[in-house]
Structure 1
């Protein structure tokens, strides 16, 4: 059976439509097909490029930074030796308040109505000192009296009349009567004074007898003259004994009326006694009147630090206080670095009291601005020397350098030999 012309046209149209659709699908599919080479090229990492930073001129400073606790310097326990008292050691006044200051030459406490005077010294007061005493404790006393401007005479290890008079001035300056000598000594002075009076009277009588014999024109005056000579000698002896008795009866320094503390002034941290109570051992504890901050460091860091170095303390409000390293001492496996502020206002003192603060101690610094690069820019050459890579005109040049101080991630550098390196040059720090 033969298809009609109309039917043949429908078949051709359908075939043409299918072909056109197939062609479109092929074109679309063709645009999405990629060769393995093209795919690798498109997914590969971009070509590496250098990361550079400029060389800078600036000052560098190496420093130790940490946190430390504030406290008052050098706490000590203060004891009063009361063994020399003949009555109970009752506290009768001058009880200090916590936070008050112990000043050299002033009474820090009263016991049985007598002062306990604070003095600076390393030897404790272990005995009552009187005229005639000798020893290192006497030397310490005279050195102290001399330092206070109280004129103890020749500064030596013997307590003499000059020492005694200086002790009187010490008590006068503190606002108290000087202690009285032992009664037996004053009685000896009284007896010696009577002996001197008797000797003077005997001399007057002997001279009167001699004068009378001379007036009578006696031929032999040897007896009367001998009596005068003996009387004069007796008077000399009596006056020597009086001087000795007076010296021994000079102002003493009772063991219970002085306390030596290594350094003064100091701040009272704690009081162990009260008025009306009995002294038994420690009467108070005191620390240095100056506030310090103690920073703990390891041995390696401690080797870089020494007394006298400048430092700074950062307070809670962010302000900075100039300070100095006072001392570096070993404390077990660590070291204590004690830093003291140069000056403090009342507000700063309150901020620092019992606080934990940031401490900065510059260890070394460059002399003004120098060429610097990040530490990451340094590398080692085959000869063991240091070098940096400098990007110039798209090319990397190796520049040998001498490395100086390093601090805060930067290093001081200077080009070696004929190499050149200048502020603003771009150095490679990574890729």
Structure 2
């Protein structure tokens, strides 16, 4: 019984000792000397920022936003029909989203057909018998693709081409417009008249000179009739055939309804493989060439590679002067190296076109790693064991923030070396 008070006193004493030690430690941390307070308030020492030396190509690139579309987009427009006051859509042969093949009827404008065929040259004139040219040759191939073959000389609108045109129209219940029939009748009558005159002269035993003149008249009439025959027959009126570079195609947009007055656009056809299409500003576009390599980054995820297929100048924004170059640009089409699946149609993309690339061996460092000494030498500073040593370099090809460098001293710079690119002052 006499030891219990002593034990209590001992416990109380130990608690007091621990409390005082704890309070003393806390006070030591809370109460600082003026020198310590100044030291703590000073900004942290700046740290050195470095980047590794690499051995890879330096590229110059141009980047722009784009979208995945079919390679060909053909806008079908209505031409003013002859003999009518207004172009009225009287029939729609294909609905939006439907597929069309060679020889299909797209629409009817004021009772005249719009028929789709394959070809890369847009129709720019009415094609009639007797005409020649690359557009006539394309017409002949297009007719064959629609199942109506010709045997005229290539590029010559002859009788079999006229017959094939008529067959294409009649297949859809239309009569093609014809030309030259009146001229043929006149030429045939001239032949008959010249023949009768020659016959009469022979029967009356006229003098040889008169017979010779009559024979020459008949020959000229027959030649003129032959010429008339070559220029008579079914023709293709401007706008009644729609040439599309690749078929089958899909109707991607219909702009009018049956009964509407059509002033311009009727519908749009999309065809061909999927490509990536985007517009670069005028300044960037000047650096891009057909065939340049490109990287494509798709949203939300995905990537691919390809090459610049073609380019077309974009018009200035409506109501703005064309001289304002920042409002204009060039639309580029990128053809992927591997075909894109249908799921990518309409996807957004970021295109990075490689416009130039370094050649040969050499070290690559960030441009910010290169500095110039007072004597004009070009240096990079290599960090090793906390110390930065200068290495003299010769600067070469630069692009996208990197530069190719070479050294005169062997092994003074190696792949993986850390070179100084700046300092980080940190934050208070």
Q: Give the TM-score normalised by structure 1.
A: 0.62
What are the within-5 Å matches in structure 2 for residues 127-166 of structure 1? 141-142=135-136, 144-145=138-139, 162-165=156-159
- Give the superposition deviation at 1:82: 0.9
Distance 1:45 1:80 in 2: 76
Q: 1:251 and 2:233 equivalent? A: yes
Q: 1:382 and 2:374 equivalent? A: yes
Q: 1:302 and 2:285 equivalent? A: yes
1:358-417 Cα offsets, whole Å, 9 max, x none, are 222223333476423344433332244431122457654211212344567654322257
Equivalent residue number for residue 329 of structure 1? 313
Distance 2:255 2:34 in 1: 92
1:297-323 Cα offsets, whole Å, 9 max, x none, are 445433432333121323346332333
- Give the superposition deviation at 1:78: 0.8
Distance 1:272 1:97 in 2: 11
Contact in 1 for aligned 2:366/2:402 (Cα 8 Å): yes
Change (3 A) 1:166 1:200: same
Unaligned runs of 5+ in 2: 1-20, 145-149, 317-324
SS in 1 for 2:291: coil
Distance 2:91 2:44 in 1: 88
Equivalent residue number for residue 56 of structure 2? 58
1:130-155 Cα offsets, whole Å, 9 max, x none, are 5688xxxx757446457869687597
**Coordinate RMSD, CA, aligned:** 5.2
Contact in 1 for aligned 2:114/2:242 (Cα 8 Å): no
Contact in 2 for aligned 1:178/1:251 (Cα 8 Å): no
**Which structure: larger Rg?**
1
Unaligned runs of 5+ in 1: 1-24, 156-161, 210-221
Equivalent residue number for residue 314 of structure 1? 297
- Give the superposition deviation at 1:59: 3.8
Change (3 A) 1:194 1:298: closer
- Give the superposition deviation at 1:91: 6.2
Equivalent residue number for residue 189 of structure 2? 191
Contact in 2 for aligned 1:399/1:419 (Cα 8 Å): no
SS in 2 for 1:188: helix
Distance 1:318 1:131 in 2: 55
Distance 2:53 2:212 in 1: 104
Equivalent residue number for residue 16 of structure 2? none
For these two proteins, the number of residue pairs brought into alignment is 373
Q: 1:351 and 2:344 equivalent? A: yes
- Give the superposition deviation at 1:327: 1.7
- Give the superposition deviation at 1:357: 1.6
Which stretch shifts more, 264-273 or 310-319?
264-273
1:192-238 Cα offsets, whole Å, 9 max, x none, are 464466467657x73xx8xxxxxxxxxxxx75867865764564355
Distance 2:44 2:343 in 1: 61
Equivalent residue number for residue 415 of structure 2? 423
Distance 2:349 2:216 in 1: 78
Equivalent residue number for residue 334 of structure 2? 340
Change (3 A) 1:41 1:333: closer
Distance 1:278 1:391 in 2: 76
Contact in 2 for aligned 1:294/1:336 (Cα 8 Å): no
Q: Give the TM-score normalised by structure 2.
A: 0.63
- Give the superposition deviation at 1:421: 1.6
- Give the superposition deviation at 1:270: 3.2
Equivalent residue number for residue 400 of structure 1? 392
Equivalent residue number for residue 79 of structure 2? 80
Change (3 A) 1:363 1:121: closer
SS in 2 for 1:333: helix
Contact in 2 for aligned 1:107/1:174 (Cα 8 Å): no
Contact in 1 for aligned 2:291/2:307 (Cα 8 Å): yes
